[in-house]
Structure 1
Amino acid sequence: MRARIYQPAKTAMSSGQGKTKFWFLEYSADTPREVDPLMGWTSSSDTQSQVRLRFDTKEAALAYAKDRGIEVQVSDPNKRRANIRPRGYAENFAVDRKGAWTH
């Protein structure tokens, strides 16, 4: 049995970091998906591909896989630096503003 351990990236629709703090273990599909000839639905007889386990840390996910003899591939996330400007939007309304109000 083969699995993948990863930490998901933030969604493109949001600037927040929600749902990116946990690590997930997902099993790889053992059999290919098949298209049903009548309805056109995609299905698989492999039920392990539906399993997605959540862990607080990468070490916990690795320990789980090691205890159960699961071969894993670990994908480390590409971390972005925070895009936080000092003072940011609040600087527009600061009482100690250096420049003249332009709008």
Structure 2
Amino acid sequence: MFARIYRPARTAMQSGKAKTREWRLEFEPASARFLDPLMGWTGSTDMNGQVRLTFDTQEEAVDYARRHGIAFRVQEPNEPAPVLKAYADNFATGRRQPWTH
């Protein structure tokens, strides 16, 4: 039973940072998925794949995994570099592209 501790990135449909502040602990799949021959649905015998725990901090998630004897790896989040923009930059004289309307 191996777990991954990470902080989820925002989806492409979001412009805000909702649900990206928490840390998650998810278990890696222990067995391969299979197709149901009658309905074509995907199934699995791994019940730990349904478990998703959330924590406020990375330390809480690591402490939980250590207390319960869960092997884990921590995936550090990629922080995007802030892009500073100002409305006045549209009219700057040193602009790369000429201003048009």
- TM-score, length basis structure 2: 0.82
Indicate whether 1:64 and 2:64 are aligned: yes
Identical aligned pairs, as a percentage?
51
Residue 74 of structure 2: SS of its match in structure 1?
strand
List alignment gaps of at least 5 residues for structure 2. 89-99
Deviation (angstroms), 1:12: 1.1
C-alpha separation in 1, matches of 2:76 and 2:45? 30
**4+ runs of 1 displaced by more than 3 Å?**
none
What is aligned with 1:80? 80
Count of equivalent residues: 94
Equivalent residue letter for 1:40: G
Equivalent residue letter for 2:49: S
Matches within 5 A, 1:21-36: 21-36=21-36
Gap change, CA 1:83 and 1:15, over 3 Å in 2: farther
Aligned CA-pair RMSD? 2.1
List alignment gaps of at least 5 residues for structure 1. 92-101
Equivalent residue letter for 1:68: H
- TM-score, length basis structure 1: 0.80
Deviation (angstroms), 1:82: 2.2
What is aligned with 1:20? 20
